[in-house]
Structure 1
């Protein structure tokens, strides 16, 4: 049974949320971005017999109500905790993807007593952006360049000021196509991410990324991760264009961590290897 609900935060922002699945373990999913929306349809279906899956759109994004922020890590951690409270969960497993992996980690650091297991999917670790961002941009151009016309159009749209809604969606599909290692199906996968299309909250993306960058690489973050008393699972796709070595910093810091690398998968590992992804998450939740 799938049920859609509205979560109201303490500052009055209305968040879209949805509960599905029939498993006994509660599992809250945190989507990537920032500035995007929940695209976890396939993940919810894949894990629905293992867990009761709760999805939500972050503030000012997707199906959640409009707002002007604030776009801070602390505010988003509080929103995630509002989702947990709304569904009456004392403790929950958290699965975060990409930016959502960072969000789930920061929630676990702030509220370790409220997190049963942390599943950290396709994140970029806790080191500074300089550890990985340059290689990511090079890998992105190389992946897009496997179809030269795609790279040319992406660059054209990137340099187009004031893109309209249709152009913004076209740019996003081209941009996201680099996340998939199979060039023959990459556009198909990226089109699925953009359907339905809600538009990117660029203010959220820019400000929240900047706020997160200030924290990464700091001694305080390393120390907090070293002291985190929560079981953690790191799941990587080996063919992610973000260097997986970026996540080594987090793996070294966490005292209770298992890491699974899916060799044929990219940034959304459930797409290329759904069976391997399901098995890894099931084991991480103690259900395998």
Structure 2
């Protein structure tokens, strides 16, 4: 049974938590989708207390706006405050990676670690997008005609689901299992909030053109792990500028994986995340234990 978190403007946000350990808030992608990160939570159950949530207007959360980056950052802060405590680690996937990054920029004192999974970087011209469109069509293969036909007209909920499953199948590297993975993502089907998707995508496009964003990334002095699947149809060089801008980041590329690397390579995904969290926590403890001695040294 889900938990009910109230935002500061009294919007009901669905959330769920599981596992034991330090808190880790998970931010799903979209925009306009719902939480599909239960498999990530299960992988990390022994290492973190994971907190999942449906973003405003999506899935099991209340279907109301406004749909803006600032509003979603404030909602994430409500989830953090209600369920995680004063400081939490964040893991964001795709659009959720951008949301987690924006939150860390605005509230660095409330974030211990940031895990940026399959995001699309901070390229102001979104130069990756034409490559994504081409790769999507190529990977759809013999499903391309049906996907295009469904996109050319108003759709029933069943047709909306069918088109989403076809499109999401391109996010997996192995064509033999791609449709099955996409079907699992779409079950249960909670409907895509197209208004939310369009509003946030338009705002992010404008936000990336702001030169302050790269300046803010350069000032973000907290540990960041960037995880990519090498077979993601969104070209991974799009993330290079973010990796270079962040002062304390490391990057892991998982071979043979598409956009959801924990599905196709769960062992290495879990190892990358847990190693990062453990190493950074040990480093923090070493710094805390050194500080009193450093202050007492008269030299």
RMSD: 1.1
SS of the equivalent of 2:233 reads: coil
Q: Is the 8 A contact 2:25 2:84 kept in 1?
A: no
SS of the equivalent of 1:286 reads: helix
CA deviation after TM superposition for structure 1 residue 88, in Å: 4.9
| Residue 7 of structure 2 corresponds to residue 14 of structure 1 | no
> How many equivalent pairs are there?
280
The whole-number CA distance in structure 2 between the counterparts of 1:87 and 1:239 is: 35
The whole-number CA distance in structure 1 between the counterparts of 2:126 and 2:241 is: 13
The structure carrying a bigger helix percent of its residues is: 2
The whole-number CA distance in structure 2 between the counterparts of 1:217 and 1:278 is: 34
1:56 equivalent in structure 2: 53
| Residue 199 of structure 2 corresponds to residue 207 of structure 1 | yes
Q: Is the 8 A contact 2:23 2:84 kept in 1?
A: no
The whole-number CA distance in structure 1 between the counterparts of 2:125 and 2:188 is: 31
Runs of 4+ in 1 over 4 A off after TM superposition: none
SS of the equivalent of 1:131 reads: coil
User: Given the alignment, which residue of 27, 31, 40 partners 1:30?
Assistant: 27
Q: Is the 8 A contact 1:50 1:287 kept in 2?
A: no
Q: Give a deviation string over 1:10-48, Cα, whole Å, max 9, x none.
A: 1111000001012x2110000000000000111110001
SS of the equivalent of 1:84 reads: helix
Alignment of 1:127-206 (within 5 A): 127-145=123-141, 148=142, 150-160=143-153, 162-206=154-198
2:296 equivalent in structure 1: none
User: Given the alignment, which residue of 219, 222, 225 partners 2:214?
Assistant: 222
Counterparts in 2 of 1:45 and 1:88: CA distance versus 1, 3 Å: closer
2:246 equivalent in structure 1: 254
Task: Give the TM-score normalised by the residue count of structure 2.
Answer: 0.92
2:232 equivalent in structure 1: 240
CA deviation after TM superposition for structure 1 residue 241, in Å: 0.1
| Residue 89 of structure 2 corresponds to residue 93 of structure 1 | yes
